[in-house]
Every structure is written in C-alpha cells, then in structure tokens.
Structure 1
Amino acid sequence: MTAPSRPLATGRAAVIAGIGSYVPPDVVTNEDLTRRLDTSDEWIRSRTGIATRHVVSPGTATSDLAVEAGARALKSAGGEDADAVVLATTTPDHTCPATAPAVAARLGLTGVPAFDVAAVCTGFLYGLASASGLIAAGIADRVLLVAADAFTTIIDPGDRTTAVIFADGAGAVVLRAGDPGEPGAVGPLVLGSDGGRSDLIEVPAGGSRQRSSGRAAGPEEHYFRMQGRDTYRHAVERMTAASVEAVERRGWTMDGVDRFAAHQANARILAAVADRLEIPDERRLSNIEHVGNTGGASLPLLLSQAAQDGRLTTGQKVLLTAFGGGLAWGATALHWPELDPL
C-alpha cells in the first residue's frame, strides 16, 4: 500500500529555485538500431514512441552528466552555491563510494554533505523527499538535487526489448528554504514501494547477494532485466493511484491540473495513465520521442526542456509521477515557479 495520507506541511518548505538539464551529444536513431537488432523503425515507434535517444560516448560516466546538469541548475538559480548535494542514480560511477561527493567536489562544493539516492526511475521524487527533509530539518538552506543516469552502460546492446528504450541524460533542480504557500514549493509527496516484486526490474549480478553466493555470474546477469508485461500493469496502476492521492492532498481536482509530467517510460504507459486520469492530450508533457527513457533523469529533464520551450510556464498547476524498480513509485503536485531554465 501507499503510505497513509498526511496533511499539507506547514513551516519551512523546499522551493524550486533553479533547473537545468543535459544530454550527451551522441544520438542513436531507430535506423541505427535496425543495423544490429531484429527490429524496425515502425516496431520501435509503435511500442515505445521513441525515434531517437542520446547515449554516452566511451569513457563518459554518470558523474559527467550530473556535473553538467548541476552546473546549469546552479546558474539558473542565480549562481549561488548549495550547502548539500543529493544525486539520484541507478548507474553510479562506482559501487563504492557514492558518486554525489565527486559531483559536489567538481562543482566547487567540497565539504558539503553529499549522498546518493537509489530508487531507479522514481529517484527524482525520492530525491525531492530527501532534499526537502534536509531543508525542513534546518540542515541545509539550499540543496542541489541531480538525477542522472548513464543507463545504456547497464543495457545489453543485443536485447531488443531494452536496447530500444533506454538512454542517457541528467536533470537537476536547486531547492531553497521557503514558504509552503509560494510557487515552486514541493509537496505533499506521495511515495510507495513493493519489494515483493523486485524481480520485475533488476540487474541480477554485481551486488552482495550474487557475490556472497559463491557462484560466478554469467555475462548476461550484469545487464538490466525487465519483465515488460507485468511492469506495464504495475506502472499504470501505481502512477494512477499516486497521482490521484497527490492531487487530493494538494486540494486540487484533476480537471484543474494544467500540466501532467510522468516518468517517460514508454508512450503506451504514458497514454494509459493520462487516460485513466482523464487528462487531455494538450496538458500532457512528453519528450520521449527524442530522448527515450533516461531512468531517474526522466522527470527533471522533461521539466527543464518543457520550461525552455514554453510548454511549462509560471503559475501552472503541475502533477508529477514516476514508477521504477524496487518496485517504487511516487507523485507530487506543485505550482510552477518563475525560473530561467538552462
């Protein structure tokens, strides 16, 4: 079950003060994929809605993407430093240590608290909860939250079911201490998980479970796996329910939502959730056609690009939702603030 409903917070709140995004320059088209996979442009488009995706070049890591997006978010927020860094990622540079301290150091934020959040495609929303907690507790006044994934580094290039979907990118926001009633204030956040179905989305090898078993893992076990049909069902159900709860806890009605931003999993899931919520096409934000599924980076990357091109404007009521491995899911609703997106 999703966590019990709680009233809208009062007191010190986390407010979005800046936003930035970055995708690596290398682009892979559907036609490129047909040269090495048994697929076609029509098959990929009809099942995923994707035409192109950005991928890291050899030697590029998640931290490289995170630093670019983080720097842009800091500039968007006026160029001031942050006093904490949170990185949501499924593809850290190393199993140990966390990647966030390296990102902080490269951004000139050495000495501030910095840590990773692992919630797969729901990482940005879990990161919002973590960053908001730092601000609410008075630990930080300004937090840089980055969601970045080099997802193609854990995808089997020969697996048609995943290689056509996943891509790489990063998005970031700067959160400042503010008032719960002002535009950009985060919350309430609806979060949930179901570890009983962790088998639906996983990388089997590389962790302590496999390492302590004494069994050598096959090469294929180091790649990301997803049971598509069951994942689709859970994603639609969980994002729909979380979205309804987030809107209700905000005191809104669904027909008052101006923009709906969902994790860009695939076009079919996005359409199914929006249809269940009865949100019309013109209120749905999407960029999956050109960037694919970028994991935890999906939501902030979408928000940044939509703010840049005018689809997302100051004062609009925005509903965010995501679903990913864990299983984990979440949603929140907020008024979009006045920003200079980069």
Structure 2
Amino acid sequence: MTQQAYIRGFGFNVPDNIVTNADLEKIVDTSDEWITTRTGINQRHISQGEVTSDLGTKAAQQALTDAGMSADEVTHIICATCSPDSYCPNTATQIQHKLGISGCMAFDLNAACSGFIYSLQVARSFVNTDPSAVVLIVASEVLSPRTNWEDRTTCVLFGDGSGAAVVTADKGENGVEIQGALMESDGQYGELLTILGGGSEHPYKLGDTIDEAFFIQMNGREVYKVAVRSMTSACKRLIEQSELTVDDIDVLIPHQANLRIIEAVGKKLGIPEERVFTNVQKYGNTSAASVGIALAEGRAMGVLEPGTRALLTTFGAGFTWGALILQF
C-alpha cells in the first residue's frame, strides 16, 4: 500500500534589492516596453551578497513555522538548485548548518526550473519508505552571478529567490495532499539552455579568463516551443491518469518563466486566464524556486483555500518537465 504524502508548510524568500525594467534600460540595450510585451516581467529581486543557502534557509524557516515544526524534527533536506553555493560542499548541508541542526540526510537536486516538483516526487518516495520521515524541500536560486548582464535576451528574465515546503505522511490540521505526479526529461534538447563553463565537458585551468559559456545561454524561440508542448502534454496526461477533467482543476500554477509561455499553456489546456496564477511580473524567472514561491504566495493571498485543487507544471534545462496535482 502506498503511503500518502502531505505538504504541511510553505515558505518563500527573495532578496530586498529590486531591479526594475527601468534600471535595466540604463545598463543594456532594452526598454520597459520591450521586456513587458515579450515576458510580462516588470521587476526582479537580485541578491547583493546573499548566497543560495542564505535565501534557502530563510524560506525553510518560514515553511517549518508554517508547519508548526522545529528544525530538529527534519529527517531529510533536499535543496533543488542549479546555482549552488559551491560544487562542494553541497548547498543542502549548508542550509542544514544554518538551521542549527546536524545528522539528517541532506543533498542537492539539479533539475533546473523543474527542481521543486521533482523534489516533491522524491519526498513522496522517502515518506512512502519511512512514514516517520519529515522532508524539508528548499528550492533556492541565485542566478544573478551566472547572468550575462550584456545579453538583453537573457538578463531581463531571471531573478533570485527561494521557496520551501515540508512534506510528511501526517496530514496534520491543514496538510495539502499530493494526489498525483508525472515527471519526464529529454536530454536531446540540452544545448538549448545551458551554463556550461567549469563543468568537466568545458573545463578551465588556473589563469584562464571566463567567457560566455560561464553564463546562461538560451535559444529562446526553441525553448518556448518545447516548453509549451511538454508542459501541456504532461498536464493533459496527468489529468487523464487521475481520472479528472480540466473542469476539476481550480487553479493552474505553472513555472513562472515568462507570461507568453504561461498564457500559451493555459490556453492549450482550456483553463481560463482567471484560473491561472501568475507572479512572474514581480519576480521574473527564479528557476527551481519559481513554483515554490508561487505556492507560498498564493496560499498567503488566499488564492489556495481549503478545498482548492491545484495543477502544478514546470519546465527546465536538461530538458526536464512535469506536472503535479495538489488538493488543499
């Protein structure tokens, strides 16, 4: 018998520093009108010295408080990130240390922008194996140091931030049920969205200067096509597997990559605009943190009330993608 898993608490954190489209007009050949019409983004939060584990720790503390739990109850920490503090030690252990705990299993998971829902699926497995498990998911990104601020096609898109969740087998008073999930990937598209510099395929030696490979590079047009197709397909198949219809979905919470992708997925699924949650205008694309931030903020805003069924979907470099259904 499969053990059910519930999200007991949510949290998110973004840096205080806000970079608006007007700010970007001063450093790169772009305009507020150009950015807004193509992405829907008005501003993004950019770290000024805070690292991935700093943002992640703050989101984790919020999620634990929301769950009514203490850090020393945590048995597993999963940090979903593609912008870790360092290659090693992993970022999850640094979050663990900053929470003032030790001993629990802690590791990083890199599925790029799909990291949060991939982590939820892994957490379900841990809970199924051990019903006493308390899994802390922290999706945190500081992508600004890996952003080429001279490339107007990418620098306008990304922001820094973190989202967190606590997953257990115990529903508690207000636990959110994870009802179903579908996760996929396809490496043939990997070259369309990359940060290559420093990896074993693109090594460097002492004294080398960094080049464009060390920063986010993206073929936006092709990424758009595969993202919309993959997320739409995953959502449709998950809805069918769950013996539901689109009408049973109260709110769609997609990865906040850009507004055009969000609108296209909603339209292809037949979900009206008013039932699609967006906050990309405020935070930009925060990669793995995107869906976690949306969930925590949506719940705080009252969008995700008890009884709400939410469909999550995401897409990231790799390519990775998936969909997941939550019952609030």
What TM-score do you get using the length of structure 1 for normalisation?
0.91
Deviation at 1:260, TM superposition (A): 0.3
Q: Distance in 1 between matches of 2:96 and 2:241?
A: 34
1:38 to 29, 41, 49: 29
> Which amino acid in the other structure matches residue 285 of structure 2?
N
CA change 1:36–1:129 in 2 (3 A) is: same
1:48 to 18, 32, 39: 39
Deviation at 1:46, TM superposition (A): 0.1
Write out per-residue CA displacement over residues 125-145 of structure 1, whole angstroms, 9 at most, x where no aligned residue: 111111111111117521100
Write out per-residue CA displacement over residues 142-179 of structure 1, whole angstroms, 9 at most, x where no aligned residue: 11001000111211011101110100000000011147
Q: Distance in 2 between matches of 1:83 and 1:334?
A: 23
How is 1:78-227 mapped onto 2 (pairs within 5 angstroms)?
Answer: 78-80=68-70, 81-138=73-130, 141-178=133-170, 184-211=176-203, 218-227=210-219
Deviation at 1:333, TM superposition (A): 0.8
Partner of 1:12: 3
Q: Distance in 2 between matches of 1:32 and 1:211?
A: 34
Deviation at 1:245, TM superposition (A): 1.5
Q: Distance in 2 between matches of 1:250 and 1:327?
A: 24
SS in 2 for 1:286: coil
Q: Distance in 1 between matches of 2:62 and 2:238?
A: 29
SS in 2 for 1:13: coil
2:225 to 214, 233, 237: 233
CA contact (8 A) 1:183 1:334 kept: no
Deviation at 1:96, TM superposition (A): 1.4
CA change 1:134–1:17 in 2 (3 A) is: same
Identity score, percent: 39
Write out per-residue CA displacement over residues 288-321 of structure 1, whole angstroms, 9 at most, x where no aligned residue: 0111110000001011111111122111010000
SS in 2 for 1:208: coil
Q: Distance in 1 between matches of 2:85 and 2:131?
A: 27
CA change 1:280–1:202 in 2 (3 A) is: same
> Which amino acid in the other structure matches residue 68 of structure 2?
G
Q: Distance in 2 between matches of 1:234 and 1:146?
A: 27
SS in 1 for 2:130: coil
Write out per-residue CA displacement over residues 272-293 of structure 1, whole angstroms, 9 at most, x where no aligned residue: 0000000001111010011111
Q: Distance in 2 between matches of 1:215 and 1:255?
A: 59
Deviation at 1:188, TM superposition (A): 1.9
2:248 to 235, 251, 256: 256
SS in 2 for 1:221: helix
Deviation at 1:263, TM superposition (A): 0.2
Partner of 2:281: 289
The answer to whether structure 1 residue 277 and structure 2 residue 269 are counterparts is yes
1:266 to 245, 250, 258: 258
CA contact (8 A) 2:3 2:131 kept: no
1:70 to 60, 78, 99: 60
The answer to whether structure 1 residue 23 and structure 2 residue 14 are counterparts is yes
User: Which runs of no fewer than 5 residues in structure 2 stay unpaired?
Assistant: none
CA contact (8 A) 2:6 2:167 kept: yes
Q: Distance in 2 between matches of 1:140 and 1:119?
A: 26
Q: Distance in 1 between matches of 2:141 and 2:108?
A: 12
Which 4+ runs in 1 deviate beyond 2 A?
A: 212-218
What TM-score do you get using the length of structure 2 for normalisation?
0.95
Write out per-residue CA displacement over residues 222-252 of structure 1, whole angstroms, 9 at most, x where no aligned residue: 0011110100000000000011112122221
Write out per-residue CA displacement over residues 111-130 of structure 1, whole angstroms, 9 at most, x where no aligned residue: 10000000000001111111
User: Which runs of no fewer than 5 residues in structure 1 stay unpaired?
Assistant: 1-9, 337-342
> Which amino acid in the other structure matches residue 17 of structure 2?
D
Q: Distance in 1 between matches of 2:136 and 2:164?
A: 7
Deviation at 1:189, TM superposition (A): 1.4
